Every structure is written in structure tokens, then in C-alpha cells.
Amino acid sequence: MKPQSLFITGTDTGAGKTVLATLLTRFLREYGVRVVALKPLCSGGRDDALALWSAGGKVLALDELNPWHFRAAMAPVLAARREGKQVQLAEVVKHIWRVSRGFELVVVEGAGGLLSPMGEDFASRELIVALKATPIIVSPNRLGAVNQIRLTLEALPARLAAQAQVVFFDLPKPDSATRSNAALLGEFIEPERIHRLPWLGMNAKPIVIPLRGRLRVGLQSLVRCVLPVPR
């Protein structure tokens, strides 16, 4: 049987996808879930993939966790073309199901925002649809976030948008938007699908951050919404 899949996307590049994917993978393992984390495509370095590799206990080879990696720091589809390569949706989906066999759950981190081109004729949205994954949308908790999140939800098929979870990462100095965004977004989607995580520091390493306090509470809230069976 195929594992349940969670797909972490963001309102933009640098929104906090890798931080959340790393923290969530660590928390799920602590929760007793047989989970594997994947970063199918990356460009401009493999730091994100390495963080996930460590968070997941290195149960796969790095090249299984991150099979397509390209040198140029640009959209993966362009970085691949620069190296004379192409990545097709079907082969990414096939790889994900193959390496996640035997796990209960697979956490997949996208590249860029929902519609940022990843490969030939597909973005994170098409990969989410192909995997029938639960989308998790990550956003910095700042002015403009509600608009960006609603646009991201609008770009998803209705069935998946109705399942999507939203994670806000608070700012180092909370402002009026930080304090009000969750409540405002809750006028448009179910409030229980909105989760806030604290500011973790400019140079925070999510692989070693203690999972406690507000961080633990936020992760617990998210996990209870995405796991099919309470634990």
C-alpha cells in the first residue's frame, strides 16, 4: 500500500518549507510514525536535502531522498536545462512511491512556491495532485500573508484546498499583522487548519532545536489534523 503523503509548499521561496519539513519529520518520528522525508528536486546546493536527511534518521541514501539536484541557483526546471537535463512529473511520482515503500507516511518538500516550475510542465501543484497529498502551506506571519495564502489556496483544486493546512512562522518582533493574521484567515477557512509556530532565530538549525513549548504545541496541532488515526 502507498503511504499517506504530506506536501510542504510555501507562499514564496524562503518561506520556511525546509524548517517546517525538518521539524515535522523529527516530531513525527518522536510520535512513533514510520516517516520518510523527501526533497525530490533542488537547485543551487543541497543544504535543504541534507537537513531532511538528518531529520529522517538517514534511513535512505541522500541520492534517494534528493535524486535531482542541480548546480545553478535558479528554478529547478531552468537549472536542469542548463545541464542538458529534463525532469518529468511521472518519473518523480514513480521515484517517490518506490523509495517510500514500507513507510506509513512520506513528507515531500517542494521547491519555491506552489506554481514555481519544478520540471517540464509541472510545479508543486501538479505533484500534489499526482500524489493525492495533503498540502501544507507555509508562510512568514507578516503583512500580506493572508492574501498570499488565499491565492495559494485558490490555485489548488477545490478538494485539496479543503484539506490544506496553513502554518505561520512568527516574526522576531511581532507586529499587528503577526497578531491578527490567523484570526483574519480564520474568516475564510476553518480555524483548526491554521497553526502558528514561534520565531526560531535567524540562524536556527531545525535539526537541533528542542521540540518544546509553543513549538511543540504548534506541531501537535498540525499533526493531529493530518494523521488519519489519533495516536
Element (H, E) at 98: helix 89-99
Task: Please report the beta strands in 65-174, taking only residues with DSSP state E, as ranges in sequence order.
Answer: 68-70, 105-113, 117-119, 122-123, 134-140, 165-169
57: its cell numbers = 534518521
DSSP codes, 2-36: PPEEEEEEESSTTSSHHHHHHHHHHHHHHTT--EE
Based on the residue annotation, tell me whether 39 is a catalytic residue of this protein: yes
Alpha helices of 32-88 — where are they, by DSSP H? 47-55, 62-65, 76-82
Pair 107, 141: CB distance under 8 Å: no
Among the listed residues 2, 17, 39, 94, the single catalytic one is 39
Pair 48, 18: CB distance under 8 Å: yes
Catalytic residues: 39
